[in-house]
Chain A
Amino acid sequence: MTTMTTMRELHTRLKHLFPLGELSEQRPDLAFVTVPAEFLRPSLLHLRDREGYTHLVLLTAVDWLEEGRFQLTYLLSKRTLGQDIGLRVMIPRDGATMASAHDIWPTAATYQRELREMFGIDFPGSPRVDEDFILEGWIDIPPYRRDFDTLKYAQENYSQRPGRETRDPATHMQQQLYPDGRQG
């Protein structure tokens, strides 16, 4: 109970400073809150310097294809209490770009390189963000986007060996239990 209260207290404190969304608590020690894009850097700095959330656990992105937005999630951790807070930032999908956080945490540079390559989110100023990270010579759209069909790409670009059957367990069990083709 104490940890949840501490998170709620933190949320109240932060709401005085920045226009935050609702706090969604997933576990007693893990909560998420939405931050507008302009207030990301100040809130990161405030959390790191004043509130003791000194560890950037990860920086990842979620593709909301239907809404046309990317959600960036910055997961910060307070090691002294073992609490995590996740900051969600929504940015438009076309021309996605965000202020770089590599001067706040140097490890953010690697995450930003990955997001640039896999999602196409630009972080101007981040070191080496334009270089190839994992994929070399990639000529299609960034592959983690949901409108990238990986199966179609694989079938078109790589020669397949004929005669591959599916071993999907669901299909197999359905054929076994209902040989007359019922859906069961």
Chain B
Amino acid sequence: MPFDWMKIPYTLLTLFIVINYGFLLNALIQKIGARVGRRHGIPIWQNYIDLIKNYGLRSSISHGVMFYLGPVFRLSGGVGLLIFVPTIYASDMFSNLSFAGDLILALYFVFFGTLGMALGAGESGHPHAAIGITRGLSQMTAAELPFGLAVFSVALQYQTLSITAIVAAQQGGILNWTLFTNPLAVTAAMLGFLGSMMRPPFDVVIAPQEIPIGPPTEYHSSYLAMMQTNRAIFPVAKIVIYMNLFFGGASDWPTFALKVFLIYLWSAFVGVVFPRFRVEQSIRWFLIWAVPLGVLSILVV
């Protein structure tokens, strides 16, 4: 199959749009959380300023090759997650580099960034970073389990591994969404979604008051700038997958913006109300509530 070279600039355009959208969306969600706490919160463009400031630091300390590669892996995980799934359905321009079987690739990329980050933070030699990674990886494993099960269930349901085909099967009205045709899988996946968004009640890994900041403890200046960029891309890319798999995909940019915002808001809703879980409590919560739902959804399909 001839490779369409025109796709590359369009993919980069998608990446650019998503980066900007991610920065603004992160700040907006933080502002919403702040408004719930009756304060004004950070300015909307604060993420851009932080990025410029971190890039403009004049010195940086590196602890070795893997330390340097940690944020690179993380960023490539986020970018890879985005460019291999179709962002706007049925659009020539914005289908990125999707192909049949990209569902499994998406699952891989979700984990890839965290693992690279774990190696890099381990090289930094800071004991807080090491503890943070242990907690983060164990929580991440427990949180991704329901998502994986839900993905299998959806793949079984639609008999395909291509995200484009799954989105195609959901067109034609709101009742065709996976949300209504396979609610168990969607519930399991949304519960797993809470765990991977690193917001309360599952933010013990990176909360500033808990073992100062966990894995990114030793990261600063340009490394931190790369990781902050990833923090803008990765959630949006993950939500794009969720949107495509469970909520009918988006056929144009305004629908995309609205759906991504609403799905992100689900984690913010839960986040502003609940305090933190400890790691073993959150793992227990996932294994008791989310995983059985996922298993059930596979059996039912």
In-complex A–B contact (CB below 8 Å): no
Question: Chain B residues in contact with chain A, CB under 8 A?
Answer: none
Q: Which residues from chain A sit less than 8 Å from chain B, CB to CB?
A: none
